[in-house]
Amino acid sequence: MSIAIVTGGASGIGRAIATSLVTRGDTVVVTDINAAGAASAADRLNTLGQGKAISAPLDVTDADAVSELYTGVKADHGRLDLVFNNAGIAVGGLAEELTLDHWNRAIDINLKGVVHGVHAAYPIMLEQGRGHIVNTASLAGLVPMPLGIPYTATKHAVVGLSLGLRAEAAGRGVRVSVVCPSFVDTPLLTNVNPDLPETPLSGDATGDIKKASPRLYTAEKLARDIMRGVEKNQALIVAPAHGRAAWRGVRLSPGGAVRIAQIAVNRVRAGK
């Protein structure tokens, strides 16, 4: 039985990860800035009759709160085995449409939120001599994804952070993986630019994305991929198959990948 923390656990990928953990008998602390959502998710997980779920409100932009929660879980349970730094937001819009508020919000949640989780968990795991940190990035962290480059930039940063930390941690008993999913059917797609100045791409992006990728991957399938990747100690967990194909394409022809991305940009500009 493992002791795990999942940030952004009230919905989407985070909730699916928490479900997989509880299903196999782990104890999971489900955290989210949406305290009621985290509590509801934990209550539902506790009906599964296998592992155990505990909810906790958490704003990942608050470094002190993250540190307090992670050290508290270690104190309460005697160890901290798994951390899933998963909380994130979507930001959409052309570069000229975005404000510094868009940039700062993406950096604060998508990047600094992960930094805060790593900063809190890594010393605990070093002291234990074991543990696994799993950071959620995106396929946008591996490919040239336009129409929301604050999101793309932060996800590239999370990939770099994770792989660099993995190299440092390898000889210390601590494992580090980074998750890079393609489009997944989650509330992230229906809440682009939350509480930020609107752009033409604000709101629900699900329809446009489903036109390009009609069969969106489910969070439950991705969670299974993540758990398999964690068990195998994979550095990069890229899913589904079309995401891995896109990643291979970028490595083979970076210039070609940018030209393909330009097609999406041209379509958006033509529709304005």
Q: What is the pLDDT of residues 15-45, one digit of tens each?
A: 999 999 999 999 999 999 999 999 999 999 9
Instruction: Check: CB of residue 31 under 8 Å from CB of residue 56.
Output: yes
Q: How many CB atoms lie within 10 A of CB 86?
A: 28
**pLDDT (tens digit, 9 = 90+) per residue, 117-176?**
999 999 999 999 999 999 999 999 999 999 999 999 999 999 999 999 999 999 999 999
How far apart, in Å, are the Cα atoms of 132 and each of 128, 145, 201, 222? Answer: 11, 28, 36, 18
The strand pair at 217-218 and 236-239 is best described as unpaired
Short-list 55, 57, 48, CA closest to 20: 48
Per the structure block, which two tokens stand in for 214? Answer: 């009609």
Helices H / strands E in the chain, number of each:
10, 9
| Catalytic-labelled residue, pool 70, 122, 151, 217 | 151
Residue type, 184: V
User: Is 217 one of the catalytic residues?
Assistant: no
* 192 Cβ neighbours under 8 A, 6+ residues apart: 90, 91, 92, 148, 201, 202, 203, 204, 205
Judge whether 192 and 202 are in contact, CB under 8 Å. yes
Write the pLDDT tens digit of every residue in 85-118. Answer: 999 999 999 999 999 999 999 999 999 999 999 9
CA pair distance 272, 209, nearest whole angstrom: 17
CA distance 137 to 162: 9
pLDDT surpassing 50 at residue 205:
yes
Task: Give the Cα-Cα-Cα angle 228, 229, 234 (nearest 5 degrees).
Answer: 150
The pLDDT value given to residue 268 = 86
**10 Cβ neighbours under 8 A, 6+ residues apart:** 30, 32, 34, 37, 38, 40, 41
pTM (2 d.p.): 0.93
Task: Please state the rounded mean pLDDT for residues 243-267.
Answer: 94
Its CATH architecture, for the domain 3-270, is: 3-Layer(aba) Sandwich (3.40)
Q: What is the mean pLDDT of residues 189-202?
A: 83
Q: Which two tokens stand for residue 192?
A: 């682009």
Could you tell me if 91 and 99 are in contact, meaning their C-beta atoms sit under 8 angstroms apart? no
